[in-house]
Chains A and B, each alone.
Chain A
Amino acid sequence: MKLHLIGLSHKTAPLEVRECLAPPPETVPQELGRIVDLPLVREALMVSTCNRVEVLAATEDEGGEAELSAWLCGGRGQDPQAIAEHLYLYQGADAVRHLFRVASSLDSMVVGEPQILGQIKEAYRAATEAGTTRTVLNRLLHKTFQVAKRVRSETNIGGAAVSISFAAVELAKKIFDSLEGLSALVVGAGEMAELAVEHLMAQGVSRVQVANRTLERAMELARGWGGQAIGLDDLGEVLGEVDIVIASTGSPQAVITAKMARAALKARRGRPLFFIDIAVPRDVETAVGELDGCYLYDIDDLTSVVEANRAGRAVEAGQAERIVAEEVVKFMTWLAGLDAVPTISALAAKAEEIRAAELGRTLKGLEGLSPEQAAALDRLTQALVKKLVHDPIMFIKGASHSKSPDTLRQQLALVRRIFNLEENGGE
């Protein structure tokens, strides 16, 4: 049994290529069916998010990667050669490691973000429903979820604020506790401001007002968020009502002055006001940040917050990589055990180990035994053990000759469980 993982991600391919590869969700079952119909492929799973498209397949013995790659590149309305340039292919332990790393969010664009695990769980659910996972992938995916959980609980990788928007949300939480029901004001329209607003809304911010130099653009943005558009002249008044201000205009001078903020604070009766100024040059006067109840972060502050966390995250990531490496070894040992020969030798070894230990203990207790008698005991136990393991071994051998590969693997897994042979693999 061999594992192959083939795909592309934000690290290897531009957005246009990733987009055309990701199949619409409703066609995933057919796609999975088409993969398992390929020669040699026994099991398959497909992970597709906006940042990656990957196919994980378990194949009979060697080979199969050429077919997989041809399937992935062909029929996508693009030159297969152009897609193939961006593909990566992992096999065996490397495939397992890659899957563990992806699920643990070590391979994400924003390292430590939690969504990817849910996306892999979803992919697994789709594959089980399509009936394309069996012994190997079932085990591998369950192991993957465990590894991701271990990484999350044993390292602090998810705790770090990872991007400017995340940092803004973390800061807002330390000011307002919960963002539930708060209102935000966006001054100016830029891509970063939009992203920040969307993050804040995902965290519970319920009302958004948009101020912009051109009112049409403000209205357009406000419509998207179900909010209100206001004119730049009304800024001072609105400052008294909102909790979070995101400023990103292209204005050469500050649009929010300390005077405006002071007036707003009076109207707010002590409720704090949080400014995120991502404009260059800055939109909010620095003096605003010194007022009691005003918290001002400009783009440099946020970047340094993110950088500080990035340094801490490198340490956490190192720890996470160790966990992944450890689990890869365990899984590969289990996978190897699914062949008949290692199972037979593990069974024989375990029986012999028990025999030797028990015999040693008994002989120690029996004093005054002649060497002949001891040898007779030794022979007796050997014969006992041999006869006891004979039938299971014959069963395994018989299964490996006559049964289909899937039945064989299931039966091997069962035998290993009955005789508790996993420990040898470091389970």
Chain B
Amino acid sequence: MSTTLHWITLIAYVVGSLISLGFLIRQRQGLYRMGLALLWVGFGLHTLALAAAWVEGGVLPATSLRQSLDVFSWALMGAVLVVNLSLEVKILGALVGPICVLLMLAASVLPAVPVVKTAAFKSAWVIVHVVSIMAGYGLLALTCLGGVLYLAQDRALRAKTMGPVFKRLPSLSRLDSLSQSSLLAGFLLMTIGLISGAVYAQMALGSYWRWDPKEVWALITWLLYAALLHTRLVQGWRGRRGAWLSVAAFAALVVTFLGAGLLMPGYHSFSSMADLGGPRP
């Protein structure tokens, strides 16, 4: 069931992305609405697919890289669609749709590992940990995208030609709001995710923090985002500096998400998930 839904979701995302790309090129409003509607449909199916995988596997479907990429693409698409409700940035579908398609394809070709049914993945603390971290990642990816688009529009404005980039991108102030609102929400969720993880670690492993590589990178990432938030809210770094910093912070986030999960050994790495036990008595 979840596999079928996964593929139907992928089809909806592919078609929605193609139509959104059509909008990017042709700038017809009908294409925008159609593409957006399809992405919403895809997101609904995606939610169902993940729920089905949860029910079928019995545990939160984020125990392998394959599943994590799937959940991340869901979080990214959700973040874009929700933020787009109030801050309409019409070209986001054309940019994020293909990214989500690639993430889901990557998730599809990765080898399926048997679902680890450890007690750890049934704990409410772990569920909160994983879900808020993933949702936070999705929003912070959007912050980075907002920063990149801000830099592109800034460049287009300074080129003084009113070219195609200038016409298609929204205003600097809208891109700034996009970055700011996704940053605030993403940072909050990431913080909740880290705290709930630490609480669970205390219950299960006897210490809040074990300096596992993923934890170290998560701390670096969190500090970078804290700095980004501080410079933005307190010092008013909103322009190019803020945009560059949001890109740098996201690079650290990718290292945390992929690098520490794949390359560095530690109990957070996907290969050692199976060894995790439940809470100690």
Interface set of A (CB-CB < 8 Å, partner B):
161, 167, 170-171, 173-177, 268-272, 289, 292-293, 295, 297, 301, 304-305, 308-309
Say yes or no: A174 contacts B239, CB within 8 Å: no
> Does A292 contact B239, Cβ atoms closer than 8 Å?
yes
Q: In whole Å, how far is A275's beta carbon from the nearest beta carbon of chain B?
A: 12
Interchain CB contact (< 8 A) of A170 among B162, B169, B173: B162
- A-B pairs under 8 A by CB, number: 57
Report the bound CA distance from A297 to B160 in whole Å. 8
Instruction: Give chain B interface residues in 230-253, CB to chain A under 8 Å.
Output: 232, 235-242
Contact with A along B109-137 (1 / 0, CB 8 A): 00000000000000000000000000000
Note all chain B residues with C-beta closer than 8 A to A301.
160
Contact A295 B157 (CB under 8 A): yes
Q: How far is the CA of A175 from the CA of B157 in the complex (A)?
A: 8
Interface string of B138-156 (1 = CB under 8 A from A): 0000000000000001000
The interface residues of chain A lying within 8 Å CB-to-CB of B4 are none
B17 to chain A, nearest CB (A): 25
Q: List 17 A-B contacts (CB under 8 A).
A: A167-B162, A173-B171, A174-B153, A174-B157, A174-B169, A174-B171, A175-B157, A175-B172, A176-B171, A176-B173, A271-B236, A271-B238, A272-B173, A292-B239, A293-B238, A295-B158, A305-B162
Does B86 have its Cβ within 8 Å of any Cβ on chain A?
A: no
Residue of B162, B166, B239 with most chain A CB atoms under a 10 A cut-off: B162
**How far is A271 from B170 in the complex, measured between Cα atoms in Å?**
16
Residues of B within 8 A of A309 (CB): 162
User: Do the beta carbons of A270 and B157 come within 8 Å of each other?
Assistant: no
Which positions 166-205 of chain B face chain A at CB distance < 8 Å? Answer: 166, 169-174
Using known A-B contacts A174-B166, A177-B170, A292-B241, determine if residue A268 contacts B158 with beta carbons closer than 8 Å: no
How far is B169's CA from A170's CA once the two chains are assembled, in angstroms? Answer: 13
Contacting residues, chain B, for A271 (C-beta < 8 A): 236, 238
Contacts of B162 in A (CB 8 A): 161, 167, 170-171, 305, 308-309
Q: How far is the CA of A293 from the CA of B242 in the complex (A)?
A: 11
Are A171 and B157 in contact (CB-based, < 8 A)? yes
CB of B236 to closest CB in A, whole Å: 3
Given A177-B174, A305-B160, 16 further pairs, Cβ under 8 A: A167-B162, A174-B166, A174-B169, A175-B173, A176-B171, A177-B171, A268-B236, A269-B235, A269-B236, A270-B238, A270-B242, A271-B236, A289-B158, A301-B160, A304-B161, A305-B162
Q: How far is the CB of B201 from chain A (nearest CB, A)?
A: 38
Take A174-B153, A177-B173 as given contacts and tell me if A272 and B161 are in contact as well, using a CB distance cutoff of 8 Å. Answer: no
A171 contacts across to B, CB distance below 8 A? 157, 162
Looking at the assembled complex, report how far the CB atom of A150 sits from the nearest CB atom of chain B, in whole angstroms.
16
Docked complex Cα distance between A216 and B169 (Å)? 43
Q: How far is the CB of A262 from chain B (nearest CB, A)?
A: 13
Among B160, B170, B241, find the residue whose CB has the most chain A CB atoms closer than 10 A.
Answer: B160
